[in-house]
Amino acid sequence: MNMKHFGAVALILSFPCLAEIAATSDLPDKNPCGDLDKEQYDGVRKDVKSVLDSKVIASINEQIAKRLEDARKKNPKVGVAVEIVKDWKSFQKMYNDDNPKTPLSDDDAKAKFDSLDAYTYTTAKDPPSIRVVLFCNRSFKDKVIDGKAKRVLVHELVHAKLYAMLIAGVEKSKLPFQENDDKEWKEGQDPRDRDHPGHPEDHNPDFHKEVEKLSKLL
């Protein structure tokens, strides 16, 4: 932020600024997932490539640019790597290697792996980057079978968009929306209704709206 001080008054000069995420797939050629057969895993890799090559990334970058204000601050591309892990121990090792000062305990890593389809986080490296980690668990396999793997990734990229804004210096209170869970809204969603499926994993109405909007770009 460029600030010019005049006595006790600080005038903040704001300028539009461009920054963007640079998303890549780091999924290995060889299938690491015991719960997915070769055809299913190849489908996941194609789905990831399809999302990253779609208009979703361009739309996310446009939204990031609108939130950044200091043209005099250089904002390099924020790297976003899409990964997949076979078990909670592999996830824990990846996360803890990226964030050695704030490691995940066994219980935390296992709980995330067992209850989520994927997890997105920022690294403590210089410069910081973002990882989207898909989980080789039963829940994610069900999404693959139901043709919903792309939506899982879009959901995680919405998290990545918010994290990229934070990395670029946007205050959390000034994010376009938050990722906090709205318990009442989540309870109103029913993922068992295949004709009109709910999405309690989308945290809150604003987050859900963003996932739905980006999904329509696929």
- Asked if pLDDT for residue 11 goes beyond 70, the answer is no
- Asked if pLDDT for residue 14 goes beyond 90, the answer is no
- Asked if pLDDT for residue 18 goes beyond 90, the answer is no
Three-class DSSP labels, the chain: CEEEEECCEEEEECCCCCCCEEEEECCCCCCCCCCCCHHHHHHHHHHHHHHHCCHHHHHHHHHHHHHCCCCCCCCCCEEEEEEEECCHHHHHHHHHHHCCCCCCCHHHHHHHHHHCCEEEEECCCCCCCEEEEEECCHHHHHHHHCCCHHHHHHHHHHHHHHHHHHHCCCCHHHCCCCCCCCHHHHHCCCCCCCCCCCCHHHCCHHHHHHHHHHHCCC
User: Span 20-30, mean pLDDT?
Assistant: 94
Q: Would strands 2-6 and 9-13 be described as parallel, antiparallel, or unpaired?
A: antiparallel
φ/ψ of residue 98, rounded to 5: -80, -25
Q: What is the pLDDT of residue 12?
A: 30
CA distances from 46 to 144, 184, 189, 212 (A): 12, 36, 29, 21
User: Span 2-17, mean pLDDT?
Assistant: 34
Q: What is the pLDDT of residue 4?
A: 32
pLDDT tier for residue 10 given thresholds of 50, 70 and 90:
very low
Q: What is the pLDDT of residue 196?
A: 66
Q: What ranges do the domains of the chain cover?
A: 18-175
- Asked if pLDDT for residue 91 goes beyond 90, the answer is yes
User: Span 10-14, mean pLDDT?
Assistant: 32
pLDDT tier for residue 168 given thresholds of 50, 70 and 90:
confident
User: Span 122-136, mean pLDDT?
Assistant: 95
Q: What is the pLDDT of residue 119?
A: 98
Which pTM was predicted? 0.87
- Asked if pLDDT for residue 172 goes beyond 80, the answer is yes
Mean pLDDT of the chain: 87
Cα–Cα distance measured from residue 218 to residue 210, given in angstroms and rounded to the nearest whole number: 14
User: Which of residues 133 and 72 earns the better pLDDT score?
Assistant: 133
- Identity of residue 20: E
8 Å CB contact between 114 and 57: no
User: Span 126-152, mean pLDDT?
Assistant: 95
Q: What is the pLDDT of residue 107?
A: 98
Q: What is the pLDDT of residue 192?
A: 74
Cα–Cα distance measured from residue 144 to residue 151, given in angstroms and rounded to the nearest whole number: 10
pLDDT tier for residue 64 given thresholds of 50, 70 and 90:
confident
Above pLDDT 70, what percent of the chain?
A: 86
- Asked if pLDDT for residue 216 goes beyond 80, the answer is yes
